[in-house]
Structure 1
Amino acid sequence: MLTLLAACQPALNWREVRPPQSEAAALFPCKPEIEQRPAQPGRQGAMGLARCEAAGRRFALSWAELPDPAQAAAALAAMPQALAAKLGQPLPQGQVLQVPGMTPLPEAFQHRLAGPGGVTRVAVFARGGRVYQALMTADADDPAAWDSFVGSLRVGAAAEAAR
């Protein structure tokens, strides 16, 4: 499959990435920079971000540990709303998202936001008290790149099984 992706999108060099302490695996079309912040007493839990840019498209996977796993559904609902507000756009209807290993929550969705500045695609999901956001931004939409990126996501035991 990776060979087929490379043939269709020569500017994107897909590779599997497992950011440390993320409990996630994803295909990125470039080598991502990874940033992490450990949990601090009295503050939010650990957070991390893996991001890169290839062929004019920006890809990112972020994760954050919530102090209470019961907050995951509310966090998933708020994350795409906050992104849409930041972009000055209404949040469009989303598509249900299934990521192997995720906690099944009805708030796990993917959205496509299009505006004068380009297209942003976002997916949100959780595993226990850890919430994730996958993001792709570009001047023009690239559904194949998004499908490769979001379709490769795995968390928890599913990420380990994919090794």
Structure 2
Amino acid sequence: MKKSWWSIGAWTLSIVGCLALVACSPALDWRSVRPEHAPALQAVFPCKPKQVDRSLTLPALPGPPVTMHLVSCKVGESIWALSYFDAQEITRVPLALAADNRALRDNLEAVSRLGSPPAVATVSAEDLGPAQVIGMTPNALSRHWRLVGRRPAGNGESAPVEVHAWHFSHGLMVYQASLWRPMPPASAKDSTDSVETFIQGFKFSD
């Protein structure tokens, strides 16, 4: 059965749900990673990531389904993730980037409603400027977002969550790197270092 664009939100729900279940383990063990089916991309993760692939139909994109790849891992109460797919045609790349930017906020709003009344399920979104990834294909829709919402915390309660997300492309491949973590972070320095180390580790070799 084909999946809709909203099915990408199911992965988001799963990622955020994990935040309420994992034990605290703050040590970060950064290592270089070469994600499968991601030509020329090198990334860094602070833990050993796992990969899941699924076929999705994207209503925001005309044409056939795509294979969505998700690489992610967790340390303590934070999740590092990279999702990506082949847009298949150059004209679909800007459409995919625009849809990806909006879908993340929509999905986070849906997650927020799970743990609080809809009236207070608000998400703040801050555009931090162009995504900066070495070797990426330039595109005005390649952005770095910081979003703050809420996550389910069990027993009908919710807790604040911060998401940093970078949307970018390389050729026909469209990427979203993201860092999900509880609010407030352990410290301002740890917060800044984690964000910068993660995104600065992404680069394309051609």
Task: Indicate the TM-score class for this superposition, using the shorter chain for normalisation.
Answer: 0.7 to 0.9
In percent, how many aligned pairs have the same letter?
31
Contact 2:124 2:148 in 1 (8 A): no
Aligned to 2:77: 56
Q: Size of the alignment, in residue pairs?
A: 148
Deviations 1:28-48 (A, max 9, x none): 000000123579xx7333331
C-alpha RMSD of matched pairs (Å): 2.3
Which has the greater radius of gyration? 2
In 2 relative to 1, CA 111–32 (structure 1 residues): closer, same or farther, beyond 3 Å?
A: same
Contact 1:45 1:66 in 2 (8 A): yes
1:131 pairs with 2:174: yes
Q: Which runs of 5+ in 2 are unaligned?
A: 1-25, 57-62, 110-122, 151-159, 186-190
Aligned to 2:201: 152
| TM-score, with structure 1 as normaliser | 0.81
- Kindly provide the amino acid, as one letter, of the partner of residue 165 in structure 2: V
| TM-score, with structure 2 as normaliser | 0.65
- Kindly provide the amino acid, as one letter, of the partner of residue 122 in structure 1: A
- Kindly provide the amino acid, as one letter, of the partner of residue 138 in structure 2: P
1:139 shift after superposition: 0.4
Contact 1:80 1:91 in 2 (8 A): no
1:76 pairs with 2:93: no
Contact 2:146 2:164 in 1 (8 A): yes
In 2 relative to 1, CA 44–94 (structure 1 residues): closer, same or farther, beyond 3 Å?
A: farther
1:152 shift after superposition: 0.8
